[in-house]
Amino acid sequence: MRAFFGFRVDKESMGEFLRTSPELAAHIQAAAEQIATGARSQGHRVTSGELLPIEVLEDPGPDRVGFTVAVKHPAGMGMEAKHGVLTRAAEAVGLDVHGIDTHHDT
């Protein structure tokens, strides 16, 4: 017999929670801030000598709260490619990081 016989997810309520919960938003923002702090602590610098600028941006989707950790500098893509600045910081806080899946099943 199944452990959750008759269990049904209330998709409408779950959607409401994912879109509007201030507690969920606070936890997700805190995780993003942890990642940004870890990335900044790596000490990478741009050609001007300034630290690589890493920001946390509110980035909600149509169906959920969201935050993005971003390197808003032209050197950002190169720093990620060469040093894995954001990937390493995310993995350090326990996230499982994967690249963008460019193979789409159609």
Q: What is the pLDDT of residues 38-76, one digit of tens each?
A: 999 999 999 999 999 999 999 998 889 999 999 989 999
For residue 104, what pLDDT is reported? 54
pTM summary value:
0.80
Average pLDDT, the chain: 89
Phi-psi group of 14: left, alpha or beta (phi > 0 → left; psi -120 to 50 → alpha; rest → beta): alpha
Measure the CA dihedral 26/29/33/34, to 10°: 70
**What does the pLDDT average to over 4-26?**
86
